[in-house]
Amino acid sequence: MSFRNRPWQRLRTDKAGLTGLVIVTAFFLLAAAVWAGFLGESWSEAGGGRWESAGAQHWFGTNVLGQDIFLRSVYSVRTAFEIGLVVSVLSTVIGAVLGAAAGWYSNTWVDGTIQWMKGVLDSIPFYLFVAAVAFALQGVYWAMHIAMIATFWTTTGRLVRAEVLKIKSQEFVLAARAIGLPGPLILIRHVLPNTAHILLIQSSMVFVAAIKAEVVLSFLGLGVQDGVSWGLMLAESTQEILAGHFNNFLSASLMLFILLLGFNLLADALQDAFDPRQAAL
């Protein structure tokens, strides 16, 4: 078995990781069904009575407005994946580019500038920063996304910088320098591909962090404004619980818990599978 296939072989034999993959795949298919218009389209319609109990017509019951809680929970899967995908992809790309540049041009003004940016962003409390961005970009749909991306890329950048510092002193990089290949080409073609395992693991962890942050921000009124999400459903449930109605809270909490559990199991499995210390075994 080749060295490249070993991580995937370890991943296939990790039962917890496979469980996480099944959960994440199931939720992704659910989100795809919503994107395609097969599910959740009528989430905003008040087709039932006030606080109806769970039944054949409304599986999770209805909220105070008579809206179907199950449809709102399902549509929120789309919201979670949209935010998670956008934030994880863009923050990982930015972190990879800036981290690689900082590592390749270490101890130069490039490295110093990027390190300074990371230090500044890491020193600002996340939710305070998001509140400031949301206030500055009032009415802009992407305000929450921008705040998350600007914050989450720093960890990826730090990890990639450390890996590039290690890789650039290896023999294949020195050989590429010796035959006259330009530095940026070596970085893009030979160094960055060797950080793929870090980017894969980190993107899955950022996905989880983005979903959790959206739920908290939406609960506080700083997140999703036009639409529905688990955070908004939890915010609605604070008043309903006082009236003895728990369906909104339970459905949003359960869906969130299962999806995050799946991603955490998958992220742990990826980390174990691509751990360089495991590769030597």
Domain boundaries, the chain: 6-43+61-279
Tokens of 60: 């999770």
Helix (H/G/I), strand (E/B), else coil: 54: coil
Q: What is the pLDDT of residue 3?
A: 44
Q: Bigger pLDDT: 102 or 63?
A: 102
CB 258 within 8 A of CB 246: no
Q: Per CATH, is 6-43+61-279 categorized as 1.10.3720.10?
A: yes
Q: Bigger pLDDT: 122 or 57?
A: 122
Q: What is the pLDDT of residue 55?
A: 61
Over residues 34-53, the mean pLDDT reads 72
Q: Bigger pLDDT: 66 or 153?
A: 153
Identify the CA nearest to 206 among candidates 148, 265, 252, 258.
Answer: 148
Confidence of residue 167 (pLDDT cuts 50, 70, 90): confident
CB 260 within 8 A of CB 209: no
Confidence of residue 191 (pLDDT cuts 50, 70, 90): confident
> What are the beta bridge partners of residue 62?
68
Reply yes or no on whether the pLDDT at 126 is more than 60: yes
Provide the whole-model pTM. 0.83
Confidence of residue 99 (pLDDT cuts 50, 70, 90): very high
